[in-house]
Amino acid sequence: MTCFSVFINKCAGILQVFKTSCVPQYIVRRSLSKNPNMLRTMVGTGLMLILILSYAVYSNTVDSEYYGYETTNTNEILELQLEENGSADWYATTKSAITWINVSIENAPLEDLTVEVESQGIESEWYYSPNLGIKDADNFVCNEPQSDYSGLLDTCEYSSKHSILMENGSLLIKGRVSLNLPIQGKGYIESENIENAENFIKSVIRDENKTRTWTISILRDGEIISSEGIEINAEITSHDFVSIEQFKLNPIQETAYSFASLAGCFFLVLVIPLMIYYSSVYREKRNEEIRLSAKK
């Protein structure tokens, strides 16, 4: 940028104009003069974020419509009895709200056999898939056996009887009996008040308290084989209502998270652009010093 300096020589009465180099400091001052507006904008944005985050914490602590409930998550070993002595055909009866049934068979003959597990009673259907219990199963969703996406996803089969091929003399069968009960004994529900929420959960557990007779059979070519030497165990997971409480967040923890998020926003929006700005100003000053020293 080119600047002109004007000097008046009073003795000679001459107006002298010299061509000089100068640093455009008025541009820097103009940019800095806008900083208060930017700061006011950042402060206003920060206050708005604080208000929004404060309301989010308040709505989930004082005025939450969600309730967390807890049930028992009891594992029970079924007492299996033989239908007929010497035949690989067992049965047991359950009268509780069940989420899981697991059947393990060992020391069976080393040949291809079929294991049939059947539930008898009112609304005795249950869910089974070989992928149940496998954490890394791909494209598997058990709770949508009749979904529109059943052609794309591997889902559970919903029936009162399931037939599974057993190889190498051992097999582990995992089945879901109810999808309405919490798997780990803890669940959440949205309700107008805690009384309605508690009544609803108790009604769900009451509806799942069904009497079922389970039969487990091992067959070869449609015929029941001998039970000699075969080890079999069956286990269920049952649920009863324990307690319910309003869902709440930890205000101190959430406040710390909120301010950490706010500080991160300020850092990304304010600090990084200012670093770029001051680095460019420093580079411009450095280049100007180099140019001035070169002219000398």
User: Residue 133: its pLDDT value, please?
Assistant: 79
Q: Quote the DSSP letter at residue 167.
A: B
Q: Which residues pair with 67 in a beta bridge?
A: 189, 246
In degrees and rounded to multiples of 5, residue 199 shows phi and psi of -65, -40
Residue 36 — very low, low, confident or very high, per pLDDT cuts 50/70/90?
Answer: low
User: Residue 151: its pLDDT value, please?
Assistant: 66
User: Residue 292: its pLDDT value, please?
Assistant: 77
CB of 23 closer than 8 Å to CB of 29:
no
C-alpha neighbours within 13 Å on the C-beta side of residue 29 = 4
Q: Which residues pair with 232 in a beta bridge?
A: 105
Judged against a pLDDT cut of 70, whether residue 26 lies above it is answered with: no
How does pLDDT run across 192-210, given as a tens digit for each residue?
889 999 999 999 999 999 9
Report the distance separating Cα 45 and Cα 58, nearest Å.
Answer: 20
Report the distance separating Cα 78 and Cα 232, nearest Å.
Answer: 10
User: Residue 7: its pLDDT value, please?
Assistant: 43
Mean pLDDT, all residues of the chain: 80
More confident residue, 16 or 294: 294
Q: What percent of the chain has pLDDT over 90?
A: 42
CB of 175 closer than 8 Å to CB of 101:
yes
User: Residue 147: its pLDDT value, please?
Assistant: 59
Q: Spell out the alpha helix ranges (H) of 34-188.
A: 35-59
How does pLDDT run across 76-108, given as a tens digit for each residue?
999 999 988 899 999 999 999 999 999 999 999
Of 225, 103, 232, the C-alpha closest to 164 is: 103
User: Residue 134: its pLDDT value, please?
Assistant: 80
**What is the rounded average pLDDT of the residues 46-53?**
73
β-pair type (89-94, 97-106): unpaired
pTM: 0.66
Dihedral angle, C-alpha 235, 239, 245, 246, nearest 10 °? 80
User: Residue 23: its pLDDT value, please?
Assistant: 43
Q: Which amino acid is at 139?
A: N
CB of 180 closer than 8 Å to CB of 123:
no
Domain spans of the chain, in order of start: 24-62+253-295, 68-246
Report the distance separating Cα 141 and Cα 130, nearest Å.
Answer: 12
User: Residue 11: its pLDDT value, please?
Assistant: 45
Q: Which of 26-35, 115-124, 216-225 has the lowest mean pLDDT?
A: 26-35
Of 125, 110, 115, 68, the C-alpha closest to 88 is: 115
**What is the rounded average pLDDT of the residues 269-278?**
75
Residue linked to tokens 């009673």: 121
Size of the chain in residues: 296
CB of 169 closer than 8 Å to CB of 106:
yes
Residues 6+ apart with CB under 8 A from 290: none
Judged against a pLDDT cut of 80, whether residue 126 lies above it is answered with: yes
More confident residue, 147 or 124: 124
Dihedral angle, C-alpha 180, 183, 186, 189, nearest 10 °? -30
How does pLDDT run across 223-254, given as a tens digit for each residue?
999 999 999 999 999 999 999 998 877 767 76
Using DSSP's 3-state secondary structure scheme, residue 284 falls into helix
Residue 261 — very low, low, confident or very high, per pLDDT cuts 50/70/90?
Answer: confident
Report the distance separating Cα 227 and Cα 107, nearest Å.
Answer: 10
Q: Which amino acid is at 34?
A: K
User: Residue 35: its pLDDT value, please?
Assistant: 55
Residues 6+ apart with CB under 8 A from 120: 160, 212, 213, 214, 215
How does pLDDT run across 132-189, given as a tens digit for each residue?
878 777 778 787 655 566 567 788 889 999 999 998 899 999 999 998 999 889 999 9
